[in-house]
Amino acid sequence: MTREEQTGKRCLDFSRWIRRSLPDSYDGYMVSDVDFILADVVTKKIMLVEEKTHSADCKKWQKNLFRNIDRWISYGIENDSNDWEYLGFHVVTFENTAPYNGLIWFDNKLVTEKQLIDKLSF
C-alpha cells in the first residue's frame, strides 16, 4: 500500500518565498510545480502528471513549458544508455476534484476511472 497522504500538512513557505523573492512573471520568469512523478523501479518506467481540478486548463505558458520538459526528457532518455522507458508528461483533469466525483480527462480525452487506473499503473 502507498504511504498515507499528508494532506493539509504541506508547508507553503517556500512557495510564498518564491513568489515574493524571485523574478516577476511579468518579466518572463515562469514558475510551475509538477504534481506527480510516477515511477516503477522494477519495470523501469516513469511518467510525469499534472493534475487539474474543477475542469481547469493549463495556461498557455504552462502548456509550452510542459511540452518542452516532455521533449527534453524524451530526448535525454533516447540518447542515454539506460534502460528506463519514459511514458510522457500527461495532464489529468477532473470535473470536480477526483475520479470518484465527476468526469475525468486524460490529455483532454474523456476516460473512465478504470481507464485512468490502467494508464497510470502502466
pLDDT at position 24, please? 87
Measured between alpha carbons, how far is 52 from 122 in angstroms, rounded to an integer? 21
103-121: average pLDDT: 98
Would you say 39 and 77 are in contact if contact means Cβ atoms under 8 Å apart? no
Q: Are 75 and 89 in contact (CB under 8 A)?
A: no
Q: Is residue 8 pLDDT above 90, yes or no?
A: no
Q: What is the mean pLDDT of the chain?
A: 91
pLDDT in tens, 31-83: 999 999 999 999 999 999 999 999 999 999 999 999 999 999 999 888 887 78
The rounded distance, in Å, linking the Cα atoms of 19 and 63 is 20
Residues found in the chain = 122
pTM of the model: 0.84
